[in-house]
Amino acid sequence: MALNSLNVLLVEDDPVFRNIVAAFLSGRGANVVEAEDGEQGLQSFKSQKYDVVVADLSMPRMGGLEMLKAMSRINPAIPSIVISGNQVMADVVEALRIGACDYLVKPVSDLYSIEHAINQCLTSVDQEHAAVNRDVEELSFMELNENLALLEQNAEAARCVQQQLFPASHIEYPKARLDYSLFKHEQVSPYFIDSAMVGNHHLIMYMAHFHPEDNRAAFASVLMRSFVNQKLKLNRTGVSSVVIEPFNMLSYLNDRLVKSGLDLYCDMIYVAIELDSYRAAIAQAGRGLRCYIRNQDGITPLALADSLQLGLLEWGKPTTQFRSLMPAEQLCVVSSEAEHRQLLQQNRFLGLNFNPKIPQGGFVQLSL
């Protein structure tokens, strides 16, 4: 049978829905263990080996997000699929951020969609472990297009989804600090930033500018975060170091955008910092963003040549540079407007900001 001998942990507080799903998965060949809330699910996860976790997000005692975060700390290699009501899209975005493979929206009218999601998720994990240097995760074009259409039609939904992804304007890491300002004119920002610690010794950050500048940028932000999270997860399990290799990361992200079939393009600067030596590896795609070194004398551009945007089938290589930073230097990524460079020099770090008087775009600064 399709799910023959798979060990599935099903965490769902609705007993009727849980029994229906458990009976279906068992009928398809899976060995299903049921849990009625996040606390019970986490205890079961600690005591038994599972192939996949299927979890509701809204549960008593311990919610699905808290449970999945704890599971990820115990064994980040076990894939998860989340089930959510329409009213908690913010939780879905957060679940994708912490590495969930897929999500389903209640009510689930076709139980075979759960089987399909499990098979897709496990196929992706198996293939990634078998081929470290190539990402072969298959995206469902139908699901992508359905979600994209929803966000294109509903500007408020797109705004809410993207808003959940943006960090605070000031982010403190153990050995670094990140500050940024991004200015937008519409509900959705065509620019996106992200950063993350990779183990105890590396930090990554990137800034992206999506084209066209419409509601699709919200979906592109979710996709980009999901793509990067897949590589973060593989790094945590010791399978791949690509996430701290900017050249290879941009090659991977271009491949993912092309295969998504969404007709989206992206300027990006991606940076990986080795925190003990202050050595930075930087890669650039497109021509709309610039990287600068900032010190007491002002800001100095790094010599990174223009290259093709991400999302092109006939894509070339990104431009790269390696740089050792002095303790008093900051690394900055800035969009092309002169006004943004001026605001950077004035230390106007406001986070995500709606301001029609300032050109769209902005800047991010990394201080070690």
3-class state of residue 16 by DSSP: helix
Residues 17 and 41: beta-carbon distance below 8 Å: no
* Average pLDDT estimate for 261-272: 90
Q: How far apart are CA 107 and CA 275, in angstroms?
A: 46
Backbone angles phi, psi at 202, to 5 degrees: -130, 150
**Residue indicated by tokens 């192939």:** 51
What's the CATH number for 7-126? 3.40.50.2300
Residues 199 and 368: beta-carbon distance below 8 Å: no
Q: How far apart are CA 100 and CA 105, in angstroms?
A: 14
Distance between alpha carbon 191 and the CA centroid of its chain, in Å? 14
What are residue 170's DSSP bridge partners? 179
Q: Is the pLDDT of residue 37 over 90?
A: yes
| Range with top average pLDDT, 70-79, 162-171, 172-181, 252-261 | 172-181
Burial of 265-303, coded b for 16+ CB within 10 Å and e otherwise, reads bbbbbbbbbebeebebbbbbbbebbbbbbbeeeebeebe
- End-to-end Cα separation, the chain, in angstroms: 54
Give the pLDDT confidence score for residue 125 in this predicted structure.
Answer: 54
Q: H-helix or E-strand containing 295?
A: strand 289-295
C-alpha distances (whole Å) from 150 to each of 35, 69, 113, 144, 146 are 32, 28, 19, 10, 6
Q: How far apart are CA 300 and CA 297, in angstroms?
A: 9
Name the residue ranges covered by the structural domains of the chain: 7-126, 157-367
Q: How far apart are CA 89 and CA 95, in angstroms?
A: 10
Q: Is the pLDDT of residue 274 over 80?
A: yes
pLDDT in tens, 301-360: 998 888 899 998 888 888 899 999 988 899 999 999 999 999 999 999 999 999 999 999
Distance between alpha carbon 94 and the CA centroid of its chain, in Å? 9
Token pair belonging to 221? 């932000």
* Average pLDDT estimate for 145-158: 59
Q: How far apart are CA 313 and CA 304, in angstroms?
A: 22
**Residue indicated by tokens 């900032």:** 294
DSSP 96-132: HHTT--EEEESS---THHHHHHHHHHHHHHHHHHH-T
Q: Which DSSP symbol is given to 294?
A: E
Q: Is the pLDDT of residue 157 over 70?
A: no
The Cβ of residue 193 has, within 10 Å, a number of other Cβ atoms equal to 24
The structure's pTM equals 0.64
Give the pLDDT confidence score for residue 86 in this predicted structure.
Answer: 57
Report which of residues 216 and 198 the model is more confident about. 198
What's the CATH number for 157-367? 3.60.40.10
At 152, is the pLDDT very low, low, confident or very high (cuts 50, 70, 90)? low
SS3 content of the chain, % helix, strand, coil (to 5): 35, 30, 35
